[in-house]
Structure 1
Amino acid sequence: MELRESNIKNIIFPIEFNHFSGGMIHSVMDLAEALTENYNVYILANKEAEVLKFNNKIKPLVLKTNWSISINKPIKTLKTYYKVRQLLKTFNKKNTIVFTNNVGSELIFSGFGFLPAIPLNRIFVSRGGCYEGKTGYFIKKGFSSIKHFVATSKHQSNILENIGITKSKITIINNGIDINRSLGYHYQFQRKNRIRLSIVGYISENKNQILAVEVLKTLIKKEYDVELNIYGLAVADSDKKYKNKLLLKIKELELANRINFKGFESDVKNIYENTDILLSCSLSEGFGRVVAEAMGFGIPCVGLKQSGGLNDIIINNVNGFLTSTDKNNIVGKIEELINKSEIRNEISINSINSYESMFSKKIMIDKYLNFLKTKVV
């Protein structure tokens, strides 16, 4: 099929956060950086945002105030809406696309479903969430002014369909991860040493680190010499409360000497060379970037089937394990990986093959370029 010449010249990515941590921002910035080869790419962020320094090929659109997107702060939120609208008034609707990647920016650009939408075509990338509650009400109203949606997994596509988005408007494009093969790290399971489980992501109720701690305790009771590395930070106030619960659980189970809080780690090599098995206890994932990343290093992964997005990544018993939230089921899969080298090695090899055939950054970029040239013209 011969591709038509796209009318799109400018692509804008709004980023509401100052920090540069978390899978969502990394996925957005990987895409933004790659698209600079074909488009004028802009990042819309406030002046303190780390992403404005990400790549000099990406053009900054600086909002001279912090984003305020909260139903509980309607006046500040409306000011953000008008400031964004004013900042973008010189862009032409015919040759500009906005990728909204978060409910916050989508609320602003849609005018909350009752104000005039900011007059630029936009694509909403559904990276997570189910669009329920008060915020979901305004999001769904605003969705009516979008022609195209991208879902990062079948799970997110189903969520969009369930809230009334026509299937023909949705394109599924999994996130892609750039793994530097020159890092020199190759997976080697050190059975004779203490076995290192790792869980990676924000410390939060959804990421469910307490379940990982309970799994660790059960393995120790079975006389396995294991420890747990927890990578990530508690950022929001609700996450900090959850971390306090997590610390209490660790104290209650007397596991302080078996758990290592590693904080935010920007160098993925440092994570995976200190990991024998990756554990994902997330209750809901729009995709599951960390799991795909670990698989690229050949790390065997155990995740929850109910998370949704991991079903696009893990083929159960082939390149990893999907299980229920029952800690004993999770323990059983970890025991298989510890005790059966043939299963562990097969999963490690299949993990790398899955990454290279489905989840590399190049594959993601090729899919987005095809999407822009065939559907967004």
Structure 2
Amino acid sequence: MNKYKIAFLIPSLGSGGAERVITTLANNLTENYEVIIITFDNKQPFYKLNSQIKHHSCTNLTDIPPSNNTYKALKFNIKLLLEINRISKDEKIDIIISFLTIANILGILVAKFRKIPIIISERNNPNKELISNFWMQIRRKTYPSANYIVVQTQEIADFYITKIKNDVVKIIPNPISPDLEIMNSKETKENIILNVGRLSNQKGQEMLLKAFTRIESNGWKLVIAGEGENRVKLEKLIKKLQISDRVLLPGRIKDVSKLYNKAKIFAFSSNYEGFPNALIEAMHFRLPCVSTNCPTGPSELIINDINGFLIPVNNEIVMAEKLNILINDSALRESLGSKAAKTVKKYAIESISDRWKKLIESCLNSNL
């Protein structure tokens, strides 16, 4: 019996959280479906793809620069639309699953033209997301045509329920990648406070650096793993704060497991999120976490003082206070880390994948 064909649609397969989620899901779903991934750009996948997955690119570009010219932007997106449609036709796609706003909009247009179902997924907080009024208006008109819209938290679901039928909006949190390998030996641990995320205003690393100047050092280092537009700004701040000898910015790390296994504490400093992959991963690695109580996600993972610490957004004083408590109490680190790991067991890929399969089968059965 031939398998149904699924096409995941996303702008790129870079190092971001949405890209990791699609890779993790796609790899798992190859057991049940024939899986294709369509990207706007031609960048090599950052995360490892199952060899059974076909990857189609809509352009030969490795990076797609933003366009300030409306005519050029419209022309480029029409080109993408036509190419997505061509690939969908040639591959005889049965269902499209798209991630991120522009991919969602283009995916809906193709799905409706081809008369196939589509599941779209928003990956960030819609109240904070920076998209143009043009795309916001198109999103408002097209999203109600999707078979389902998948979000990660109740707060984000509430935003879309006011605009789309209640039964179309589904909450499915992000899965933990099975590629994240835990090393149980305590001998590999170092005095490292870890932060993982894009170097951007959203991730709040400036606050974290200022908080780090307030901790009782005693040989502890801060490692901020990731890349982004704020690198130069952060490097200047590190120099200004005179902590260059204690802070590392190693850039994108292919095997981030090594850092999670080395670190003793995880500091999550975001100003807002969709659902925080890095925080789930840190908890999975039994790391005691100090996290801002930003919208949305952390408060659905952490119960303050039980399996981690929740602090006010952009508060360097409280961040430093909680880091100091963990630095000076190894038993508390062990206790919080153990409880954190138990909390995120429900995000194992097997459990999350089953929820996606139910939506996929519902769409395919209704399209017969």
Structure 1 and Structure 2 fold alike (TM over 0.5): yes
Matching residue's letter, 1:243: R
User: Which residue is 1:184 aligned to?
Assistant: 183
The counterpart of 1:10, out of the listed 5, 19, 26, is: 5
Distance change in 2, residues 1:353/1:334 (3 Å):
same
The answer to whether the 8 Å contact 2:215/2:321 transfers is: no
The counterpart of 2:54, out of the listed 52, 59, 69, is: 59
User: Which residue is 1:212 aligned to?
Assistant: 208
User: Which residue is 1:331 aligned to?
Assistant: 320
Q: Secondary structure at the match of 1:197?
A: strand
1:153-184 per-residue CA deviation (whole Å, 9 max, x = no partner) reads: 2233233235x123221111111113468653
Q: Secondary structure at the match of 1:157?
A: helix
Looking at structure 1, the residues matched to 109 and 178 of structure 2 have their Cα atoms a distance apart, in angstroms, of: 38
Residue ranges of structure 2 left out of the alignment (5+ in a row)? none
1:133 is displaced (CA, Å) by: 4.0
The answer to whether the 8 Å contact 1:69/1:80 transfers is: no
Looking at structure 1, the residues matched to 99 and 300 of structure 2 have their Cα atoms a distance apart, in angstroms, of: 19
Distance change in 2, residues 1:328/1:97 (3 Å):
same
The answer to whether the 8 Å contact 2:108/2:118 transfers is: no
The answer to whether the 8 Å contact 2:183/2:261 transfers is: no
1:269-312 per-residue CA deviation (whole Å, 9 max, x = no partner) reads: 31113211111111111111111111111011111112312222
1:104 is displaced (CA, Å) by: 2.3
Mean Cα displacement is larger for which, 71-80 or 45-54?
Answer: 45-54
The answer to whether the 8 Å contact 1:231/1:261 transfers is: yes
The answer to whether the 8 Å contact 1:109/1:118 transfers is: no
The answer to whether the 8 Å contact 1:232/1:265 transfers is: yes
Matching residue's letter, 1:202: R
User: Which residue is 2:27 aligned to?
Assistant: 33
Q: Provide the TM-score with structure 1 as the length reference.
A: 0.84
Looking at structure 1, the residues matched to 258 and 181 of structure 2 have their Cα atoms a distance apart, in angstroms, of: 14
Query: How large is the Cα RMSD of the aligned pairs?
Result: 2.9
Looking at structure 2, the residues matched to 182 and 249 of structure 1 have their Cα atoms a distance apart, in angstroms, of: 33
Q: How does 1:162-177 map to 2 (within 5 A)?
A: 162=162, 164-177=163-176
Looking at structure 2, the residues matched to 224 and 181 of structure 1 have their Cα atoms a distance apart, in angstroms, of: 30
Q: How does 1:134-149 map to 2 (within 5 A)?
A: 134=133, 135-149=135-149
User: Which residue is 1:200 aligned to?
Assistant: 196
Looking at structure 1, the residues matched to 304 and 178 of structure 2 have their Cα atoms a distance apart, in angstroms, of: 23
1:5-24 per-residue CA deviation (whole Å, 9 max, x = no partner) reads: xx98221101322x531221
Distance change in 2, residues 1:151/1:187 (3 Å):
farther
1:121-141 per-residue CA deviation (whole Å, 9 max, x = no partner) reads: 211112114166422222222
Distance change in 2, residues 1:117/1:157 (3 Å):
farther
Mean Cα displacement is larger for which, 245-254 or 66-75?
Answer: 66-75
1:185 is displaced (CA, Å) by: 3.2
Distance change in 2, residues 1:64/1:341 (3 Å):
closer
Looking at structure 2, the residues matched to 90 and 227 of structure 1 have their Cα atoms a distance apart, in angstroms, of: 52
Mean Cα displacement is larger for which, 55-64 or 311-320?
Answer: 55-64
Q: Provide the TM-score with structure 2 as the length reference.
A: 0.86
User: Which residue is 1:371 aligned to?
Assistant: 359
Distance change in 2, residues 1:262/1:64 (3 Å):
closer
What is the count of residue pairs matched by the alignment? 353
The answer to whether the 8 Å contact 2:10/2:39 transfers is: yes
Looking at structure 1, the residues matched to 181 and 204 of structure 2 have their Cα atoms a distance apart, in angstroms, of: 33
Among the aligned pairs, what percent are the same residue? 23
User: Which residue is 1:100 aligned to?
Assistant: 98
User: Which residue is 2:297 aligned to?
Assistant: 309
The answer to whether the 8 Å contact 1:186/1:297 transfers is: no
1:33 is displaced (CA, Å) by: 1.1
Q: How does 1:272-291 map to 2 (within 5 A)?
A: 272-291=260-279
The answer to whether the 8 Å contact 1:187/1:299 transfers is: no
Residue ranges of structure 1 left out of the alignment (5+ in a row)? 1-6
Q: Secondary structure at the match of 1:185?
A: coil
